[in-house]
Structure 1
Amino acid sequence: MTFFMKAVAILVGSITIAMGINLFLIPNKVLDGGIIGLGLIISYLFHTNAGFSIMMLSIPIFAISWFKYRSYFFNSLHGMLLSSLFIDLFHNLNQMRIHISPILSSMTGGILIGFGIGLMLRFETSTGGTDLLAQFLSEIVKMNVGIIILIIDIFVICLGGLFVSSETFFLSAITILAGGITTSVCTWNLKGNH
């Protein structure tokens, strides 16, 4: 795999994630899971830039990965920085009201985010965040990484339901489900999965 192809995957994946968040999630105050979801909660509550919040929340995780999983650090840093940058650069897209139902909007946002993450994973890179955190925790608690990611996502959308609105929980669950399915489809047969 060439450096150029990985760079294109990071660029296209980051833009797709940013479009999913700004066009479909933010207008309805919907969350994604993990660090992106926590960044969105902070953005909704304190009117900060979502990408900047995501970047700040990622610093401790990337600091740990520098010492424990240096390859993850290098393979995820560019994805996190570029996706956070594009989320903030495309912030004005959330002013464009796409007139579809909040459920369809949540689903579409999840599909776009899942595609962006899946594309990056396909080229052995990612946005870091929850993936890195789950990796650390799985070694401590001896649990499957996917289960830990699911637990983190559920925790994040429950926080959103508590602090943002109860409707946020339902719509965010749709986003996470759509994103998870899309990521799975994009990474199908990756490393021998069937």
Structure 2
Amino acid sequence: MNRKVSITILSSLLMGIGINGFIIPIHLINGGFWGVSLILNYLLGFHIAITFICLNVPIYLVASVYDKTYFINGLLGITLSSIIIALLTPLQLMIHLPTLYSTIFGGTIIGIGVGFMLREHISPGGIDLLALIFSKLFSINVGVTLLLLDSLIILFGVFTLKDLRLFYSMLVIIFVGITSTVITGIKHIKLYM
């Protein structure tokens, strides 16, 4: 199996476990278009994976013009991560931890998945694709860029859903940002697949 496909599957499994096992059961959001999809799900009952794909279309159209490699890798990432995360929805009923533990575990597991994808220049979604493009343009670590964009989404969720408990979501994206920054910053991680 192709290395990029293997890493995308592994990363998507980690993201699916983090989102379905730890974030959704405590009614939090994470960053990126997954976070926006969760906000729309909580507000209007929209299907998370379908909303995620629809939100990504404009970003991928821009990416197809800007950088063909990011576009192709992004299509791989969005397709596999959407399918795998949707398949792992039964985890929402299986894991029930206190909010703080779910926040830490969920953010860290999602961050590991996102980090390994970003190391391979694979985007698991539109915001991550924007972060990859911004980091290339401005020579900023992709994890830092992602943390800033995700923070804006969490703040939007807090004000839209009017639930102060969503401030725990800031911890989620901090753990995702720190973990993905560490993984994308380490030069000598080797995954043999």
Give the alignment's TM-score, normalised by structure 1: 0.85
Of the candidates 21, 35, 38, which is equivalent to residue 37 of structure 1? 35
Aligned to 1:163: 160
The SS at the match of 1:190 is coil
Amino acid at match of 2:64: W
Aligned to 1:107: 104
Q: Mapping of 1:3-82 within 5 angstroms?
A: 4-82=2-80
1:77-133 residue CA offsets vs partner (Å, 9 max, x unmatched):
11111111122121222122x332101101111111111111212333221411322
Please, what is the CA RMSD of the aligned residues?
A: 2.4
Distance 1:74 1:18 in 2: 21
Contact 1:50 1:87 in 2 (8 A): no
Q: Mapping of 1:106-185 within 5 angstroms?
A: 106-134=103-131, 144=140, 146=142, 148-164=145-161, 165-168=163-166, 170-185=167-182
Distance 2:27 2:19 in 1: 10
Contact 1:25 1:106 in 2 (8 A): yes
Amino acid at match of 1:87: I
1:42-95 residue CA offsets vs partner (Å, 9 max, x unmatched):
121122221221111111100111111111101111111111112212122212
Do the aligned partners of residues 134 and 117 (structure 1) sit closer, same or farther apart at CA in structure 2, a change above 3 Å counting? Answer: closer
Identity in percent: 33
Question: What is the CA distance between 1:143 and its match in structure 2?
Answer: 8.9
Do the aligned partners of residues 16 and 83 (structure 1) sit closer, same or farther apart at CA in structure 2, a change above 3 Å counting? Answer: same
Structure 1 gaps, min length 5: none
Number of matched pairs: 187
Distance 1:184 1:144 in 2: 11
Distance 2:131 2:47 in 1: 25
Contact 2:18 2:110 in 1 (8 A): yes
Give the alignment's TM-score, normalised by structure 2: 0.85
Question: What is the CA distance between 1:134 and its match in structure 2?
Answer: 3.8
Contact 2:32 2:125 in 1 (8 A): no
Aligned to 2:89: 91
Distance 1:74 1:44 in 2: 31
Structure 2 gaps, min length 5: 189-193
